[in-house]
Structure 1
Amino acid sequence: MSAAANTPAAAAAPTWDPGQYLRHADHRARPFVDLLARVPELPSAPGRPLRIADLGCGPGNVTRLLAERWPAAHITGFDNSRQMLERAEALAGPTAGGGRLDFAPADATNWTPPEGTYDLILSNATLQWVPGHPDSFPAWVAALAPGGTFAFQVPGNFDAPSHVLMRELSESQRWRDRLGDTLRHADAVLSPTAYLERLVPLGCEVDAWETTYLHLLEGDDPVLDWVKGTGLRPVLTALEDDTEAREAFLSEYAELLRKAYPAGAGGTVFPFRRVFAMARKRA
């Protein structure tokens, strides 16, 4: 099939590749570690372990950090990707402090846990994939024990060259019929202020902020390699049955990225803005 063939854009959920995602694991884990450092002391009740949910756990590489901080807790990582859960399952089992780490399928678009179930609900770089995710905040806060915390971070770089160029290329004359409706836009996430305004009325003490990380990436076409693990997944999924088209798109996109993110003596600087929110339910 020609790379320019006119066929409908794919609407399927992205197919995930844990190996590709983990190629930049250290950089990707940094915002999670910063988020985790701000989580306050969790409520405790005699006779029951802390309950923690990691919503959108991916391959589980950062979920296990929760077990290091709360080794006696029952921690469950949820994800809707079979590939990610299969990778995460190798980490499941008892934890050092007598707790447990396990994983289960769930989709953040319709995940509604029972009220009072969790002491911490945390989500790392997932909610940007969930249209209208702030509408779920009331149910998720309701699922917290008094004094529990809902904490998350999402990419805030949808107006960065990496994503703007991806969208412009997908919407170009050559690709629009196949990819024009495939990618998310800047409204996929809210500002820190908007998240705060959504969470305060739910009876929460809220801390919201943003940080721009300057990742120094190595290797050939490192920004392309990064987005192949995350933001580019919808395009790769839409073209996965057409190798010629896939390689043609990647070649065009790589050329644009090289100009937007030129390599320097120490590597390629990739600025990445993240938006954080921490909401503690009042006791």
Structure 2
Amino acid sequence: MRTSPIWNPTQYGKYADERGRPFADLVDRIQVSPDEVKVVVDLGCGPGNFTATLLDRWPTASIQGIDSSTAMIDAAQSYATDRLSFTVGDVREWPGESTPPVDVIVTNATLQWIPEQLDLLPGFVRALRPGGWLAIQIPGNGNAPSHSILRELAGTEPYAQYAADKSQRADAPGPAQYIEALTAEGCVVDAWETTYNHILPGENAVLEWVKGTGARPVLQSLPDDLRADFETEYGARLAAAYPRRSYGTVLPFRRIFAVAQKKG
């Protein structure tokens, strides 16, 4: 299982409504009758709150959430039912040899952490029954100030020796790359991108947002005596780049989507 940050479900859960919009928009593009869906897998399910919404969408389906974070899966257990279960697992190692055919695979805000993500797509498609659906959403905001400031600061001393490599991430595939990769696997593909303009409440809201996601590997790589200084300086730069207004702080956030149906 790959080395990954220790995720904090509480921090990640801040701004849950804003984080949930892309998930809802992704699932809405899966055009399948509810009674046709019997097995659903959510790869990278996090704390399970979004996965739980699938119970109503597919009321006769058995749904499994998988995540590499024990903390996230522990939090997700509060949503478990007789139709919804959660398991610790590595997305890169799924599906296993005994995995039964799946009707719908959802992977939301997960594959961006895996540089070789396009290499995983053939295995995901093979796990689908004929006519099954694969739905992917990843952030595409690697060039946003929230990330460029993080890389710049993490590359300066005294932080660089600990954090410089933790701030780097492979470029996200665009819609065209998903179309090419998934059509090659015999799928009909709908891929697009959207930039959400989230209006976030609270003090230094963008810092609070990225502490739960993109900045977490960097913050965790730093010794305790440096982490507070880094967070203070990073927060000040973010506050300048994303000024707080009377109505909140606007965070433009680009996301990339691909929904593919395996040909029958």
Measured against the shorter chain, the TM-score band is over 0.9
Distance in 1 between residues matched to 2:63 and 2:3, nearest whole Å: 30
Distance change (3 Å), C-alpha of 1:42 and 1:78: farther
Distance in 2 between residues matched to 1:157 and 1:105, nearest whole Å: 28
Match of 1:149 in 2: 133
Q: Which is greater in Rg?
A: 1
Distance in 2 between residues matched to 1:133 and 1:177, nearest whole Å: 28
Report the TM-score, using the length of structure 1 for normalisation.
Answer: 0.89
Quick check: 2:174–2:256 contact (8 Å CA) kept in 1?
A: yes
Shift of 1:224: 0.2
Shift of 1:90: 1.1
Match of 2:9 in 1: 18
- Which residues of structure 2 form unaligned runs of 5+? none
Secondary structure of the 1:119 match is strand
Superposed structure 1 runs of 4+ greater than 4 Å apart: 42-45
Match of 1:265 in 2: 246
Amino acid at match of 2:255: R
State whether structure 2 residue 25 is matched by structure 1 residue 34: yes
Shift of 1:210: 0.2
Match of 1:79 in 2: 67
Q: 1:169 aligns with which of 148, 153, 166?
A: 153
CA RMSD of aligned residues (A): 1.6
- Which residues of structure 1 form unaligned runs of 5+? 1-10, 95-99
Secondary structure of the 1:32 match is helix
Match of 2:123 in 1: 139
Distance change (3 Å), C-alpha of 1:42 and 1:238: farther
Shift of 1:14: 0.4
Distance in 2 between residues matched to 1:81 and 1:50, nearest whole Å: 26
Quick check: 1:43–1:145 contact (8 Å CA) kept in 2?
A: no
Shift of 1:113: 3.8
State whether structure 2 residue 39 is matched by structure 1 residue 51: yes
Give me the identity figure in percent. Answer: 47
Shift of 1:186: 5.1
Shift of 1:244: 2.2
Quick check: 1:116–1:142 contact (8 Å CA) kept in 2?
A: no
Shift of 1:110: 2.1
Distance in 2 between residues matched to 1:156 and 1:150, nearest whole Å: 19
Q: Name which of structure 1's ranges 171-180 and 155-164 shifts more when overlaid on structure 2.
A: 171-180
Q: 1:106 aligns with which of 89, 92, 116?
A: 89
Quick check: 1:55–1:126 contact (8 Å CA) kept in 2?
A: yes
Q: Name which of structure 1's ranges 140-149 and 229-238 shifts more when overlaid on structure 2.
A: 229-238
Shift of 1:44: 6.5
Count how many residue pairs are aligned between Structure 1 and Structure 2.
262
Secondary structure of the 1:93 match is coil
